[in-house]
Structure 1
Amino acid sequence: MSRRPNNTDEVVLTAYHVSNKSAAAGSGARGNPRSRKSGQYTMNHGNVNPSLGRVAINRSGSQDSLDDLSLDDYWKEVEDIKKNTDCSREQQDVVKEPDEGELEEEWLKEAGLSNLFGECAMDSQESIAFLSTLTRTQSAAVQKRIDTFSQTLRKKNKQHQIPDVRDVFKQPEASKEKDQNVNGFQSLEARDKRKDDQSEYAAAGLLSNNEEGKKHMEDIVPETDINLEISFAEQASNLKEFPNVKSEKEDDSLLPNFRLPQDKTGTTKIGDLAPQDMKTVTSLALIELTALYDILCTELKLQRAAKIKVKESGVFRVPLSALLEQDQRRLPGTKVPLIMLKLISHIEKGGLDTEGVLRIPGASARIKVLCQELDAKFYDGTFNWDTVKQHDAASLLKFFIRELPLPLLTVEYLKAFHSVQHLPTKKHRLQALNLLIILLPDVHRDALKALLEFLQRVVDHREHNKMTLKNVAMIMAPNLFSVHNSQLKTVDQGAVASAARTASVMLFMIKYQKLLWTIPKFIVGQVRRQNVVNQKKLTKEKAMKKLLKRMAYDREKSEKSISENEVPQGFIRVQAPQFSKVSMAVQLTEDLKAGDILARFLNKESGGMSRNLKKEEVCLYEIGGNIGERCLEENTYMKDLSQLNPSAEWVIKSKPSV
């Protein structure tokens, strides 16, 4: 069968680029990877809030954590990559240098705050609602970028004067005094004089106005606990109040087993929220990540993608978005490219007990031929998978990831992932990775999740395949963090340091992947507050529409139906459109969980439906009120959640396709 032509097209991507200080910051990371030199990393913009000060952090060129972690597997993988790289293939620069001011402008757009500048600044009521829910450190991060953008714009065009956002959103003096959470914009100098919201910090045990509050955070919250209720940047800011707190002596051979404290209102995972709420989560995650890096005096390295030509046919060197689009035409609901799933499946079919399952490469000539045949025959269904050995499939999977024209971790955030290892503690790194995972586009995030889950399954068989967590991290790091192999051409001290950092980040992503797909509770809380503020603008219109709809609905209901829908106090009504019993009044008790409600409906349906639904296929949803839509985990305590969102409706329906 003839091979399909490689059609090309131009794709324009927008994001933002590392600041012009990145080179200076990056040079500080070069040198002997085993040396231990202390130093500080600067931020992209302006000076640090003087009241917050700077953190003196001991860091090394690579990381202490990699001192005992041999890089042999890493460099062996690099050599294998070079053997399988087509040097004749034209390399394209996927990174574009930004014009002056574009960095801050793109940041504001990504954060959902583009209407803070320009002609529409005076009418940006939606942004006011958004800003009103920000924490102190988040507000400072936004303010800094707006100030920098405004200054840059005035320098470029002195005749074009834009309104100062601090004047646009200036609050009355009485409102400023009342608002202890710094909701909205004020000057940084004024914000420095304000006291922290003690009620917020009391929840973290971080009050500074008494002797007990001066204890170290580690003395109050065990190191293995991850606090998702308070902003990560706020937690980092408070650590500066304790002069005796020192940065951790890092050693990845002693990785803690981080855990999430039980949340009675339920843990929210990526994919549990409605698209509109998830869009708000993404904006908040970017602001929070920026604030965290600002507080830790670490440069946040973000880039901007250039316009490049990409293939639109075949399976290799095709963007994930293009692959998924053609896969979904064949199999609706697909979230991960079919070629990637097939390669993983083929590796597992051969057994994960095979020694060196990811380490031993396939023959270079055979891999090249298999790539060409898969490009031509995969979608025709004529490719003979019996000819693919297990080690060939592993090499093809790594080739697929490595040769993506737009990296799996994206052009925009690739260096940000890399810079995670500059953060002072394991907990800070985990927090930053959590926010970065949230920021990834859906297709990249879903593909990364499938890959990490597969790698964990490989590690689970380490007693037989001799592939430990460190081995797997070393082998996969150069495939995820090298853009078109440009970072693999030379090996110097800087490359050694980079290898150590990327391998450690890879190790973190594999080990803590279950935590990384969790949306922090403080961000979900901000989404709820924003929804409440936005709803107030349409209260009158909604009230009238709801009244008219209720009147029409009531006229169509019989007396029996009306009596069935009356819900006594202390009860909630659960709707289940897919079930024969479409609704049920459920009494709220202290120990009632979402899983209990599902079990009640499923038990009643066991003999009344033509198709038996499994518990894993359905979910109880929280809909409306202060949230768009949220899929509840089974351990959610319904009484606590109903108190948090008393106006919500409760509906049982199928889970999103996985």
Structure 2
Amino acid sequence: MHACDFFTCVYVCTREPSPTEMSVEPWASPQDQAAAEHTYRPHSLPSQDQERYPDKQCLDSFWNEVETIQQGSGEADLDHSRRDSRQSEDGDQEEQWLTDAGLSTLISDDGEDVDKAVLLSTLTRAQAQAVQRRLESYTLSRRKKNKTPPRDVRDIFGSDISPTLLPESQSSEDLSMASVAKSPLSAMTLEHQRGATKEEFLITDIAYCEQAVIFLKQAKFPQNNTQHKKEDGSLPRVICPKCRLGVTRIQDLSHADMKKVRQLALIDMTALCDILEVDVKRHKSGKRKIPESTLFGVPLATMLENDQKLKSNTLIPLFLQKLLSFLEKKGMDSEGILRIPGSQSRIKVLQQNLEANFYTERFSWDDVGANDAAALLKKFIRDLPEPLLTAEYLNTFSAVRDITELRQKLHMLNLLILLLPEPNRNTLKALLEFLSKVISRERKNRMNLWAVATIMAPNLFLHKSVPSRLTDGPEKGQVEKAADIMRLLIRYQDLLWTIPNFLVSQVRRLNENSSRRYQFYDRRFKNLLKKIQPETREKPEKIKSEMRRSVKVQVGELVSGSLEFHLNIHSRTVDLLEQFQRQYLRSPANGKGKMRRNGSVVFPDCALYEVGGNIGEHCLDPDTHLLDLYNSNPTGEWIIRVKSYGGRAP
């Protein structure tokens, strides 16, 4: 029996959201709400067209930035990167992709069949097809090189994954379509698209690649084509369904679980690109000589490692923190901030002084001009040895411009954000938060979303180490497309920094299947499949009414012990934390607050963590419905701890 048999269970995982998973009430991030309010105030913008399209000043600013970047890029660097790109053929990219996706055992003889079962059992059909295509490409390329033939892809998948793996009356698209159709928000989505209100709903319970299959299938019907409106350049308010298990942000999961999220996100992103016919060929940057510098041209990871010796909990370079803080205090109201270039001679002197004196704390920011500081910010990003968006994914970020549907653009960007290394992702978030603050002061600095996006896009999407097609083609069209990606990153950043529900569910299933490895040594795959189905007999019956749950308390040296909490269908994390505050922190007998100089009392910021069972560690959203959480992970522990910076427990 071949490993393709594992995919007979794929579609049963793609199901309609149950009442325990989704509420009909939507949620929008604070960033999106603020942006929506900004968008809907006509008097806050000079004209409506300036929100929809870049003006001539924006276009000129874009090409000025491109010229500055090209002047700082040596032709030798570009030639080297092109040579390196040509050398990364012959199956190397596929091999690296399989390794990054956690599927390297598929091309080696070291992995047990049980390992393949655990890895493949969580994939949807479209995800599995993406894996199969990479295996086939790897096999063909290895044969061309006349090396020892690797294992044939049919030894792993048996045969092509086709709809016959499921009963003819039950295809993946049908099941997924039913899920979307029965979702309370699907009808609302279409209604808003037809009406005047500019709102878009982002469903994250179903794999993004499966959603693309559904909507491409729907687009083939003539009656659905009339729903697509001509893009007018304005951005709608994007709302996600409120999941009863809460919102999971990137910083909420343990490092071990985030590694699995990245592997699954890579598979889903690749499958989505295959379906949308987006080129995802990853570039492998060559080795570059690192300059003898402490700030500019230093790899992010190296700089962060050095800075963490000075400040252990820092997530972005200390220099960038100081630079952004200075700009927020002194540059927010400067007209044309980011657009007006600083003096090149002053910037050069500033850079030299910073390199020599920043870490000795002898550098003074008092005489630094706002425009010079903004120029230093852009130079810091450009001078990184590798792009902030990484050499592997820079061109994929750029390719998002060619996707027509906003929903699918956001799907792609969400997955790409998850794939970024942690230092890059945190640095990008700090930059986007700063840019959002700049836009919020538009009435004074004259920098709207288009203006900021057209200026910053070249600094993020052009890099001397990676060949780019960003500036190919008609000038105006390329500027709009490049800046549009930047607009989406700025406007929807809080939504993009969340982990979609389907990935959290896949991580839970992956952990469940891994914990049952001792059951998997039966090599008869049909029996094995029955054991990894979600409807296993061993799963406890769901609790639908009420129960009591014991919660551990580990609040440093202040409090330790346990707390009894009464669960019902309405119980949320915030309710449990309020009970903990009353019983342990604020009670007259056990008060644990710290007195401030002004006489006020401050209490530790605590959070509820889900630990063990089918998750490593998960900092829970305050709106998580706890009875639903218990049914999703009955063997996990609940622990109250002091919330650490970044969300993870200390």
C-alpha distance in structure 1 between counterparts of 2:166 and 2:469, whole Å: 48
Tell me if the contact between 1:206 and 1:238 (Cα under 8 Å) persists in the aligned partners. no
Identify which range, 575-584 or 335-344, moves more after superposition. 575-584
C-alpha distance in structure 1 between counterparts of 2:490 and 2:388, whole Å: 15
Deviation at 1:218, TM superposition (A): 2.9
Tell me if the contact between 2:331 and 2:371 (Cα under 8 Å) persists in the aligned partners. no
1:593 alignment partner in structure 2: 572
Name the CA shift for 1:486/1:623 in 2 (closer, same or farther; >3 Å): closer
Is 1:196 aligned with 2:171? yes
Aligned counterpart for 2:333 among listed residues 353, 367, 377: 353
Q: 2:190 corresponds to which letter in structure 1?
A: E
Deviation at 1:489, TM superposition (A): 13
Structure 1 residues 410-421: aligned runs within 5 Å: 410-421=390-401
C-alpha distance in structure 2 between counterparts of 1:630 and 1:268, whole Å: 8
For residues 185-208 of structure 1, the C-alpha deviation after alignment (integer angstroms, 9 at most, x for no partner) is 75447559854245543221189x
2:612 alignment partner in structure 1: 624
Q: 1:385 corresponds to which letter in structure 2?
A: W
2:155 alignment partner in structure 1: 167
Tell me if the contact between 1:94 and 1:406 (Cα under 8 Å) persists in the aligned partners. no
2:190 alignment partner in structure 1: 218
Deviation at 1:655, TM superposition (A): 2.6
C-alpha distance in structure 2 between counterparts of 1:439 and 1:470, whole Å: 26
Deviation at 1:646, TM superposition (A): 1.0
Name the CA shift for 1:422/1:608 in 2 (closer, same or farther; >3 Å): same
1:574 alignment partner in structure 2: 551
For residues 511-563 of structure 1, the C-alpha deviation after alignment (integer angstroms, 9 at most, x for no partner) is 000110111101110111111110011579xxxxxxxxxxxxxxxxxxxxxxx
C-alpha distance in structure 1 between counterparts of 2:269 and 2:506, whole Å: 15
C-alpha distance in structure 2 between counterparts of 1:301 and 1:640, whole Å: 41
2:625 alignment partner in structure 1: 637
Aligned counterpart for 1:340 among listed residues 317, 320, 328: 320
Tell me if the contact between 2:386 and 2:465 (Cα under 8 Å) persists in the aligned partners. no
C-alpha distance in structure 2 between counterparts of 1:133 and 1:488, whole Å: 35
2:92 alignment partner in structure 1: 102
Is 1:609 aligned with 2:592? yes
Q: 2:99 corresponds to which letter in structure 1?
A: K
C-alpha distance in structure 2 between counterparts of 1:65 and 1:300, whole Å: 32
C-alpha distance in structure 1 between counterparts of 2:201 and 2:552, whole Å: 36
2:447 alignment partner in structure 1: 467
Q: What TM-score do you get using the length of structure 2 for normalisation? A: 0.78
1:232 alignment partner in structure 2: 208
Tell me if the contact between 2:417 and 2:497 (Cα under 8 Å) persists in the aligned partners. yes
Q: 1:654 corresponds to which letter in structure 2?
A: V
Is 1:155 aligned with 2:144? yes
Deviation at 1:309, TM superposition (A): 1.5
Name the CA shift for 1:357/1:266 in 2 (closer, same or farther; >3 Å): same
C-alpha distance in structure 1 between counterparts of 2:267 and 2:345, whole Å: 47
1:119 alignment partner in structure 2: 109
Deviation at 1:112, TM superposition (A): 1.1
Deviation at 1:602, TM superposition (A): 2.1
Name the CA shift for 1:352/1:643 in 2 (closer, same or farther; >3 Å): same
2:61 alignment partner in structure 1: 76
Deviation at 1:239, TM superposition (A): 2.0
SS for the counterpart of 2:618 is strand
Tell me if the contact between 1:78 and 1:488 (Cα under 8 Å) persists in the aligned partners. no
Tell me if the contact between 1:248 and 1:424 (Cα under 8 Å) persists in the aligned partners. no
Name the CA shift for 1:273/1:312 in 2 (closer, same or farther; >3 Å): farther
Name the CA shift for 1:622/1:221 in 2 (closer, same or farther; >3 Å): farther
Aligned counterpart for 1:325 among listed residues 284, 287, 305: 305
Q: 1:218 corresponds to which letter in structure 2?
A: L
For residues 136-192 of structure 1, the C-alpha deviation after alignment (integer angstroms, 9 at most, x for no partner) is 10011111110111111122126x23222432455xxxxxxxxxxxxxx75447559
1:518 alignment partner in structure 2: 498
Name the CA shift for 1:229/1:84 in 2 (closer, same or farther; >3 Å): closer
Name the CA shift for 1:124/1:485 in 2 (closer, same or farther; >3 Å): closer
Tell me if the contact between 2:143 and 2:149 (Cα under 8 Å) persists in the aligned partners. yes
C-alpha distance in structure 1 between counterparts of 2:113 and 2:333, whole Å: 58
SS for the counterpart of 1:328 is helix
For residues 392-420 of structure 1, the C-alpha deviation after alignment (integer angstroms, 9 at most, x for no partner) is 11111111112211111111111100000
Aligned counterpart for 1:391 among listed residues 361, 371, 387: 371
SS for the counterpart of 1:505 is helix
Deviation at 1:283, TM superposition (A): 0.8
**How many pairs were matched up?**
548
SS for the counterpart of 1:507 is helix
Q: 2:208 corresponds to which letter in structure 1?
A: F
C-alpha distance in structure 2 between counterparts of 1:112 and 1:204, whole Å: 29
SS for the counterpart of 2:638 is strand
Identify which range, 239-248 or 307-316, moves more after superposition. 239-248
Name the CA shift for 1:614/1:145 in 2 (closer, same or farther; >3 Å): farther
C-alpha distance in structure 2 between counterparts of 1:485 and 1:162, whole Å: 33
Deviation at 1:87, TM superposition (A): 5.1
Q: 1:340 corresponds to which letter in structure 2?
A: L
Consecutive unaligned residues in structure 2, runs of 5 or more: 1-48, 521-544, 596-600
Identify which range, 102-111 or 279-288, moves more after superposition. 102-111
Aligned counterpart for 1:137 among listed residues 126, 129, 133: 126
Name the CA shift for 1:67/1:520 in 2 (closer, same or farther; >3 Å): closer
Tell me if the contact between 1:336 and 1:443 (Cα under 8 Å) persists in the aligned partners. yes
C-alpha distance in structure 1 between counterparts of 2:604 and 2:378, whole Å: 32
Percent of counterpart pairs with the same letter?
38
Deviation at 1:457, TM superposition (A): 0.9
Q: 1:428 corresponds to which letter in structure 2?
A: Q
Deviation at 1:115, TM superposition (A): 1.2
Structure 1 residues 441-590: aligned runs within 5 Å: 441-484=421-464, 493-494=473-474, 496-538=476-518, 570-578=547-555, 579-580=558-559, 582-590=561-569
C-alpha distance in structure 2 between counterparts of 1:616 and 1:199, whole Å: 46
Tell me if the contact between 1:65 and 1:251 (Cα under 8 Å) persists in the aligned partners. no
Deviation at 1:585, TM superposition (A): 0.6
For residues 219-251 of structure 1, the C-alpha deviation after alignment (integer angstroms, 9 at most, x for no partner) is 599961100001111111112333133384453
SS for the counterpart of 1:586 is strand
C-alpha distance in structure 1 between counterparts of 2:623 and 2:306, whole Å: 38
Name the CA shift for 1:248/1:648 in 2 (closer, same or farther; >3 Å): same
Q: What TM-score do you get using the length of structure 1 for normalisation? A: 0.77
Q: CA RMSD in A?
A: 3.3
Tell me if the contact between 1:248 and 1:425 (Cα under 8 Å) persists in the aligned partners. no
Name the CA shift for 1:146/1:188 in 2 (closer, same or farther; >3 Å): farther
C-alpha distance in structure 2 between counterparts of 1:152 and 1:496, whole Å: 40
C-alpha distance in structure 1 between counterparts of 2:316 and 2:187, whole Å: 47
Deviation at 1:496, TM superposition (A): 4.7
Identify which range, 79-88 or 619-628, moves more after superposition. 79-88
1:309 alignment partner in structure 2: 289
For residues 103-155 of structure 1, the C-alpha deviation after alignment (integer angstroms, 9 at most, x for no partner) is 2111111111111013325x253232121110010011111110111111122
Tell me if the contact between 1:116 and 1:124 (Cα under 8 Å) persists in the aligned partners. no
Tell me if the contact between 1:434 and 1:516 (Cα under 8 Å) persists in the aligned partners. yes
Deviation at 1:601, TM superposition (A): 1.6
Deviation at 1:86, TM superposition (A): 6.7
SS for the counterpart of 1:141 is helix
Q: 1:575 corresponds to which letter in structure 2?
A: K
Name the CA shift for 1:106/1:588 in 2 (closer, same or farther; >3 Å): same
C-alpha distance in structure 1 between counterparts of 2:639 and 2:178, whole Å: 36
2:237 alignment partner in structure 1: 257
SS for the counterpart of 1:261 is strand
Q: 2:549 corresponds to which letter in structure 1?
A: I
